[in-house]
Each structure stands twice: as C-alpha cells, then as structure tokens.
Chain A
Amino acid sequence: MTAVEDRPKTEIGAARKRKEDQRLITGRTKWTDNIQLPGMRHLAMVRSPFAHATITGIDTSAAKSSPGVLAVLTGEDVKDIQGGMANAWPITEDQKAPVHPAIAVDHVAFAGEIVAVVVARSAAAARDAAELVDVDYDELPPVLDLKEAAKDAVLAHPSLGTNKSAFWQFDSAGAGTGGPVDEAIEKARADGIVIEREYRQQRLIPAFMEPRSVVCDPTGEQLTIWTATQVPHFVRIFTALVLGIPESKIRVIAPDVGGGFGGKLQHTPEEVIAVLAARHTGKPVKYTETRSESLLSGHHGRDQWQKLTLAATKDGTVTGLKVDLLADMGAYLGLVTSGIPVLGAFMFNAIYKFPAYQFNCTNLFTNKTWTDAYRGAGRPEATYAIERLMDELAAEVGVDPLEIREKNWIKHEEFPFTTVAGMTYDSGNYEAATARARELFDYDGLRREQQERRDRKDPVQLGLGVSTFTEMCGLAPSRVLGALRYAAGGWEHATVRMLPTGKVEVVTGTSPHGQGHETVWSQIIADKLGVPFEDVEVLHGDTQIANRGLDTYGSRSLVVGGQALVMAADRVIEKAKPHAAHLLEASVDDIEFSGGQFKVKGTDKGKAMAEVVWAAFSSHDLPEGLEPTLDADATYDPVDFSFPHGTHLCAMEVDTETGQVSMRKYVCVDDIGNIMNPLIVEGQVHGGLVQGIAQALWEEAVYDDQGTLVSGSFVDYTLPTAADTISFVTDNTVSPSTTNDLGAKGVGEAGCIASTPAVVNAVVDALRPMGINDIQMPCTPERVWKAIRSAGSDQADATTGDAQPHFDAGAPNQAPPDPSSSASAEGADQ
C-alpha cells in the first residue's frame, strides 16, 4: 500500500490513515446484527408501558399459538434461573439496591422494562407474537422527579423502604488534603464573595448509532455470545456470575461495534435473556433492538442537581468549594451506575488551587430508565459546574473570565501538583494552552465586536464562553478502584505474537468500537519492533483470543492498554536478545536492538527481527534454556491517572427576538500529552465537542408525568446534524504525561467534557447585561427567549436563584419541561 518513501521516520506521531476504514467504507462489516447462523431464532421483547406497576397476570397463549413461535418466556418462567443483574460498584458499605431481574417477575419500575420475550422463526414473527402477549398491570404511583424522590414520599421500590441508595462524601479537611470548607464559606460571607448556584445536569441518552444487538449460540461446548458491547470481558464475567454458568464455558465476542460512548459499557438484561432463550430452545438466537427500544431501555446518562457554594476573597481568589449533588440512578443500579457521580468528586476543583473542598453526593432511585456511564461520566458534570462558577465569579469581581481563571489555576512550574481532592497532576501548562487558544480565537477582536453589538443594541448579541478544563483519564489504578469499593481492577493486558513469516499479531484486552486502536497499536508496534506498520495485525474483542482484558472506556485504552503493549513489546525484544546473540555468536550483553535490527555493539554485524523470529520458530539450533518463542505478554496496572487539559473558547450568537442560538466560532487547544496519531486525535476531539455542545443546546431525555419517555425516538431526541454544527479550530500543546512510557494522557472524552460549559458560558455571556446569569440546559430557543423576556424580573427560567444564600430546606424546585409533544408519533416528514 504505502510506498517506502512515504514511510514516516517514526510511526508514533504520524497522521496514519486508519486500517479499520477499508471494511467500513465498503460495507464489508461484521456488525452483530449481520450474523446469520443455521437454525437461528429471533427474539422480540414485550416491555412495560407503565413506569411503575405490579404485574398481576400475563396471558401468553395467543402469542404462543402465533405462527412460527417456539416459546414465550415470562419472568415467572425464568425466576429461578435468571439471577439478578449486577452492580459492580457499591459505593458505600450500606448502599441500597433493588433486585434487578432481567425479565420482571411481579414488579416493573420503569417504562420499557422487559416483562416477556418471544422466541420465533423470524424477527417479524416474533414481533407479531409480541403484540399478542396480554399483560395485566396494577399501576402504582411513580416517582420521577429527583427532588421529589429525595423526600421519600413516593417510593420507586416500595420494598426498599426508601429512594436513597447511598450517600458519599469527600471532605478535604477529613482527608487531610485541605482545610474545612464551611469555615472558608463563613469567612467569605463575612468579608469576601460567596457564589451560590444550582445547576441541572439534564438526563441524556448516549445514542450510539448502532442499536445494540446480541446473538447467542448454545450449540457446541462453549456458549458463544456476540454482542454490540464495549466490554466483552465484563459480559463474560457477569454472564457467569449472574447465570451461574462456568466462565470457562462462555465465549464473548464483540465484533464491529458501532459506537458506545459509555452506553455499551453494560451487561444488559437483553444479553441475559438471549442466553436464557438460546438455552431454552437449544438454538442460536438473535435480538436486535429498535432505535425506540434503544432510547427507552439502553441506559441513560447524567441527570443530577448540583448545589454549589464557592467562597472567594474580594479579589477573586477562591478559598473553598462545596458541592451537594442529587444523582438520579433511575430504577436500578447498572454495572457502574452508582459510581458515575463519584467519578466527578475528584474533578470539581479542576485546574485550580482551592484550599478547601467538600463533595457530597446522594444517589436516588426514580421510576425511569437507569443511568450509567455516558462519555465523560462524572467529569463533565464537575467541569460544567466549576467552569460555570468561575464565570460567575469573574462577573461578580468584574474581571474577564480568563483573568479569574489565571488567578486561581496551577502554574506550569508548580507541577507535579497535589490537589485539594488528593489527585497528583503530573504535568500540564494551562498558560500555554490558553495563550494559543486566545490567539487562534481572536479573543480580543471578538470582545470588541461584542461591545459594538451591545452598544448598537443589535438584536443578535454575541457571547464568548471559556472552559479551561482538566479531566482524569486512564481508568484506573487498581488500588484506587479498590479504595472506592469498585469490584474489579483497572489494569490492562497485551500480547505480542511474533509470527514465523515476520508478521506480528497484537492482542489487546481493550475493546475498540470506533476509536482506531488497530491503527494506533500498529504504529506503536512498528516503532517498538521495527516492523512495517502494515505487518501488524491487531486482534481484540474475542475472549478466546484476547483472554485477559478490561475493555474500553474512560479514555483508558492508550494510557493503560498502550502501556501494556509497550511492555509486551519490550519483553519480546528482551526475549529475542539471547536468540540474536546465539545467531550472531556474541554475548547477550553486547546485543542492542534498534530499527528492527539486533546488532553487536561496536560492529556492523546484525540480524533482522524477522530472521531471529524464524530461527526461534524453526528452533533447529537453540541453545539450552531458550524457549522456542519470542511471544510475550504484559499486564499493566497504572501507577496513577493521567490529566489531559485544554482551553476551549466558544462564540455564540443569540437572536434575542426568537431565542435562537447559533455557534459562530469554536477554538480548542488540548494538551493530551504525546500524540500518537494527530488525525485520530482531531477526530476524537471533533466528535466529543459535538456531543458536549449537544448537551448544552439540543439533547434531553424528557419524561411526562406518567413516566413515559417523551423523547423516545430520533424525532424528539434531537441529535444535531451536519447542518446544525460548524467546522472547528483545534490545536494542541504537549506536556507529556509522566505516568506512562508513551507520555500519553487520553483524548476520548476531552471534547465532550470541555465544550458544554464553554457553550453555556457563551450564551450567558451574551445575555449577562440583561441581568441573566443562567439558562438551563439544553439552552433551547424557548428557554433563552423566556429568560430574556423575564430578565430583570423574576428570572423564572434560570436554574438558579441569585447570589444570595438559598440553601434552606425546600428550596424551590424547577418545573420539568412540558412533556406533551405534537408530532412525535408521526415519523419523518413526508
């Protein structure tokens, strides 16, 4: 493919086009739904239309006699064998959680919960029969609103006796990482500034493009499960644990997976049901969800109320931050549901030197789809809160938002820096990233234009938004996860197999679903072992091939899995040295390896890697004690997190007549450490930006007061299109991470974490002269218009009160948006 002269000097850092693309652009893909097996049966789910109800009876007789139907299974049928879905992250010792059956037995706790499954010859026959399953429900009152749930007046699970799942606290005074926050606030009330705000993190839906699909083949010695997942290793372990099947009898394969964004970091009821149905019928089965089912029953993300108190001196030096969260678990605890808000605990202090900090989080159940990981998971919420607060502080002090940040941030010469949340940031340079972003953005020019528009009362106002974010990536050091009561570790595994013909197979325990691991892992190995990029094959996602691994999420693949790969490659070289020494008739100590050649120091004698590999393969002449293989593997447990950061600047135009907001310009300069492949990095940033922007402007999962998901299709869950977005200006500064050999920090979530507050800050900045200091997300035209209309009066549409204390009990609740929707059922336009 690539001519030798095109070959970059080093693969790492080169803008290699992706290996993965060939099959994806030609339609030669292996999505789970593509799989057809001999004798395969199809599943259709019957789901509860009610948010909260008791099941009083299910009549499956009509469905069972529908043509082509092999079986109809209800919760009653499988209650003794289906176990309960697992929560791997009990954040406190006394965390409460309801039993979560894959098929509801007698109680449903959210609309969309599965109550029966039909197994039939075709997908159409299964669907036809599913319509005939007759379920009797006794409706129970649902609890939907998070603040209502906190009152425990209506219970999501009456048998639990409370909606409160857990309370989790981090306190800097208690942890010895800082002072007592209440004292800082008290002092600021006396002679400084106290900013008190309440922000809403709306409920979001990951909305990966490939609907989830699972195929289970029970024929043969091992049960084989193909599933559209980010976490095949988790699915294997939890299938074993939930269903009591020996792990050694289970093989899980994640074939081509069409996006995840945390939404496929789950072990799902559908996966369990596929196994139950396959074992029940003895036939391979397939279940592919519709988009409506995906939006309804795939886990959701975010959904928090954040009460925030920021204390500062009069000049804007922050002296303390107190965070009180209510986090909506939804109806059940999924795999890591309960830990998601806690991931934010270490990030509210962001890039700043706060002397005192306290984080309090209450996890609550409601009768809605359960929440879990969604791109950024905990960190976007934290970043949003603090970056919005820093703008509010700047406004209070009367200085530019960049100035207030500079006053408080960690200076580049202060790294490594241990924060008030106990994290040690290894490297970074906020000044450099900000300076570069400012220049690319023409910050001063746009500020001038903003003033001009204000002066001439232009109906279209301009706002500039800042977000100087950091995040913790590279999940995660196992000791930290253990301390946080997470069930598993955070290591990663890699194997390098040196094939006799000189090709290299790399096996990674990470499980890509669009990122480009096949390309980047090839680049790393090409440099490490001196083999051509094209000669490296990257294998993943099949537990029989990649037998050890902890999969892909939390921007961990490169910083943890890449490091494992580097270590495995180093071991190959170390293993090969005695072989090379033997072939070269030299001492091992005199062998050095570079550029794919083993050389005898100080001579021009050498052997290529391929020759050494072949000799080891043929092993005709191996000295005693040498194994006839150069293959090596490594499992790496990260010593610490990595901390990418960046400065994002956004210009928004606000049409004050209609409330319509539109993006004028977006510049981001991210420091993600060393860059393996700039093409892929840019792509990750672009995609992350739009997801974060979409939270700010467009997306929200909305329930009506019955607990029906109103935004249950792509008609109403409004993902942005190409026509709604702009081209971005992206750049990087580089402060290599010191916690891994690649110097990488992770980029998968950066754009998504940073952009949301940048956009909302820009919208608010445009309107601040009118007295507006918040617009609830998503900043819909209606909300913006209503904020403008009521500006100066009661601020009814903001999520906050004013800068006065409001932390009294029974603070006013925000009315949920009007849930009725006109055209939602009518599908696409004509």
Chain B
Amino acid sequence: MIPARFDYVAPTSVADALSALAEAGDDAKVMAGGQSLLPILRMRLNAPETVVDLGRIEELRGVRDEGDHVVIGAMTTYADVLASDLVRQHAGVLTDAIEEVADPQIRHRGTVGGALVHADPAGDVGAPVLALDAELVVTGPGGERTVPAAEFFRDLFETAVGEGELLTAIRIPKHTGWGSRYEKFVRVAHQWSIVAVAATVRVEGGAIAEARIGLTNMGSTPLRATAVEQALVGKAATEDAVREACAAAAEGTNPPSDLNGDADYRKHLATVLTRRAVLAAAGA
C-alpha cells in the first residue's frame, strides 16, 4: 500500500517534461492522471526511480475544435471529456465509452491520454479511438509526429509512444450525425470490461451507410472489426440484417481466458454485443 521511494518532477510545460524525461533516463515513469499507475506503484509491481507528473502542464488539457477534427489534450480528464459537447456531438462513441470507465472518482482524475498510453486491452478508450480513426500526436525531443490509431497500439501495454516521448493530443475526425453506442459487458459495475464493443454508424434512409466498430479486450490490443464494418454497409438497420453482418465480429480475434470467461465465451459475447451496439447506434 506504500510505493517504493521515487523522485518526483512536476514540469509545467511539454518542453520541460521532455527534458525531465531525458534527464531521468530509463527508470522514469510518466504519470498522467495516475489512476492506473498509482495502484501499480502501491502494490510495488513497478518501482521507477523518477515519476514525471504531467498534471501541472496546462497546455495538455482541454478539448478544442479544429475544423474537421476535435482535438483532445492528452491530459484532459475523463470528466472533462464527458462535459464536452464538442466530443459528444462529433465523437459520441468516445463519450459513450468514457461514461463506462471505472467510477466517478476515477473519472475525475484519470485522463484519456494516460489510458491510451497505458494500453490495457481491457481499458475502454482504445476501441472508440480506433473506431473513430483518430490520430495520436506524439511529441519527442525531435518534435511532433502523428500516428494513426491503427498503428498506435502495438501489444499488451505497449504503444507507438517511444522512450522519452509523450502522447500530447488525440485528433479525432468529426463523425457528426453518426449514431453511437458502447456496449460494455461486466459482472459487477466496477470491473474492467470482460468484452466491450464501440460502434458508431451513419444511417441514411433506414440503411447503414457507414459503420465503425472497435472491440475491447478481444486481444492484446483494442481491435477494429473491419469485416463487420464492410458487411454492414448498405444493410437495413434491422435485427436480422445486422445479426447476419455481425456474425463474424470475433473472427481473427485472440481474446484472453480468465476468471470472467474463456476465449470462446468472449468470442460469443463479441458477436452479441456488436449486434446490440450497432442496432442501438443505428437507432433501431
């Protein structure tokens, strides 16, 4: 319950944070909202020499409108994203997913950027970010680069953010007018997702014109169900049509087996939840 000793730095700018990281070297750990990191430190599952706390960098907070994109500062808390009409309106599935993250106290502290870099496959923000074709802005000593969400998640707890780099922003193309739903399956409310499905669809004249599906906890990273997305195009937003299109939702996934269910069960859940999410997103 008491972390091992560490040195603590709380820079107030991205530039200072990058220097602090460079200075601290290998044994530094970046702390965003700290809601996943602190439990790990308390249990002494990790004992960094230095913790670089991004909590005082104001430039990393907030949601802004950039024309075709909504841009979320990496240190924007879940609570602040939930309060953002901009996100709700143009990236509704992210709002839906964040409403399901942990509990209110955690949402007051935890950040979208922190969750993405932590990259827990059972975390709830990866799938919607993937489904929305977001771009992740990564800043390092050499400047800024942009990584498409599809290339961001590398493996279990591993992302495209390299050593000495920071995720600074999430750029989401506006999906204005798209319906959305995050279907999260848990046994008790405060659990991580056993499986969850992020769906956002655009309906035109009673048929699905476009669909984007992200899967949570169906493998070592969040996954995109592209086959289902394609199968849904042009389908009537009806139970039967959507059921058929979603039957392959778990194809190619490699979900874990644990106390909450084995891989087969998760695959089954993924198909059911995908259908339900798509139907709800389509307003059916």
The interface residues of chain A lying within 8 Å CB-to-CB of B257 are 818, 820
Q: What separation, in Å, do the CA atoms of A292 and B259 have in the docked complex?
A: 17
The interface residues of chain B lying within 8 Å CB-to-CB of A720 are 188
The interface residues of chain B lying within 8 Å CB-to-CB of A716 are 259
Query: Restricting to B161-197, which residues have a CB under 8 Å from any CB of A?
Result: 185, 187-192
Which of A123, A780, A824 sits near B187, CB closer than 8 Å?
A780
Q: What separation, in Å, do the CA atoms of A304 and B186 have in the docked complex?
A: 27
Q: What separation, in Å, do the CA atoms of A297 and B112 have in the docked complex?
A: 36
The answer on a CB contact under 8 Å between B102 and A781 is: no
The answer on a CB contact under 8 Å between A820 and B36 is: no
Nearest A residue to B38 via CB reads: A827
Q: What separation, in Å, do the CA atoms of A1 and B145 have in the docked complex?
A: 67
Q: What separation, in Å, do the CA atoms of A818 and B259 have in the docked complex?
A: 6
The interface residues of chain B lying within 8 Å CB-to-CB of A809 are none
| A829-B38 contact in complex given A292-B43, A710-B259, C-beta closer than 8 Å | no
The answer on a CB contact under 8 Å between B36 and A822 is: no
B interface footprint on A805-830 (CB within 8 Å = 1, 0 otherwise): 00000000000011111111111111
| A829-B40 contact in complex given A702-B259, A724-B189, A782-B265, C-beta closer than 8 Å | no
Q: What separation, in Å, do the CA atoms of A291 and B1 have in the docked complex?
A: 9
The interface residues of chain A lying within 8 Å CB-to-CB of B192 are 715, 823, 826, 829
Q: What separation, in Å, do the CA atoms of A828 and B273 have in the docked complex?
A: 24
| A822-B122 contact in complex given A127-B2, A829-B101, C-beta closer than 8 Å | yes
Interface residue count on the A side (C-beta < 8 Å): 45
Query: Restricting to A240-271, which residues have a CB under 8 Å from any CB of B?
Result: none
Which of A123, A658, A715, A718 sits near B269, CB closer than 8 Å?
A658
Which of A128, A657, A698 sits near B4, CB closer than 8 Å?
A128
The answer on a CB contact under 8 Å between A711 and B265 is: no
The interface residues of chain B lying within 8 Å CB-to-CB of A453 are none
Interface residue count on the B side (C-beta < 8 Å): 50
The answer on a CB contact under 8 Å between A827 and B43 is: yes
Tell yes or no: A719 within 8 A of B by CB: yes
Nearest A residue to B189 via CB reads: A723
For the complex formed, measure the closest distance between the CB of A511 and the CB atoms of chain B, giving whole angstroms. Answer: 27
Which of A124, A128, A291, A829 sits near B36, CB closer than 8 Å?
A829
Tell yes or no: A785 within 8 A of B by CB: yes
Which of B102, B121, B256 sits near A829, CB closer than 8 Å?
B102
| A782-B185 contact in complex given A829-B101, A829-B102, C-beta closer than 8 Å | no
Which of A131, A658, A782 sits near B260, CB closer than 8 Å?
A782
Tell yes or no: B115 within 8 A of A by CB: yes
The answer on a CB contact under 8 Å between B33 and A718 is: no
The answer on a CB contact under 8 Å between B121 and A827 is: no
Q: What separation, in Å, do the CA atoms of A667 and B257 have in the docked complex?
A: 36
The answer on a CB contact under 8 Å between B35 and A829 is: yes
Q: What separation, in Å, do the CA atoms of A829 and B185 have in the docked complex?
A: 15
For the complex formed, measure the closest distance between the CB of B14 and the CB atoms of chain A, giving whole angstroms. Answer: 20
The answer on a CB contact under 8 Å between B5 and A128 is: yes
The answer on a CB contact under 8 Å between B188 and A719 is: yes
The interface residues of chain B lying within 8 Å CB-to-CB of A823 are 120-122, 192, 258
Tell yes or no: B73 within 8 A of A by CB: no
Which of A711, A825, A830 sits near B101, CB closer than 8 Å?
A830
Tell yes or no: B222 within 8 A of A by CB: no
| A828-B36 contact in complex given A657-B272, A782-B265, A821-B258, C-beta closer than 8 Å | yes
Which of A710, A825, A830 sits near B43, CB closer than 8 Å?
A825
B interface footprint on A88-128 (CB within 8 Å = 1, 0 otherwise): 00000000000000000000000000000000000110011
Sampled A-B contacts (27; CB under 8 Å) = A124-B2, A127-B1, A660-B185, A702-B259, A715-B191, A723-B189, A724-B188, A781-B185, A781-B187, A781-B261, A782-B265, A818-B259, A820-B258, A821-B258, A822-B121, A822-B258, A825-B40, A827-B36, A828-B39, A829-B102, A829-B106, A830-B35, A830-B78, A830-B101, A830-B111, A830-B120, A830-B125
Counting from the closest, the 7 A-B pairs by CB-CB distance are: A827-B39, A829-B102, A830-B115, A723-B189, A830-B110, A782-B261, A821-B258
Q: Which of A's residues lie within 8 Å of B, judged by CB?
A: 123-124, 127-128, 131, 290-292, 657-660, 697-698, 702, 710-711, 715-716, 718-724, 780-782, 785-786, 817-830
New A-B pairs, 13, CB < 8 Å, besides A818-B262, A826-B120, A829-B120: A658-B273, A723-B189, A780-B260, A785-B268, A820-B257, A823-B192, A827-B43, A829-B36, A829-B102, A829-B123, A829-B192, A830-B35, A830-B120
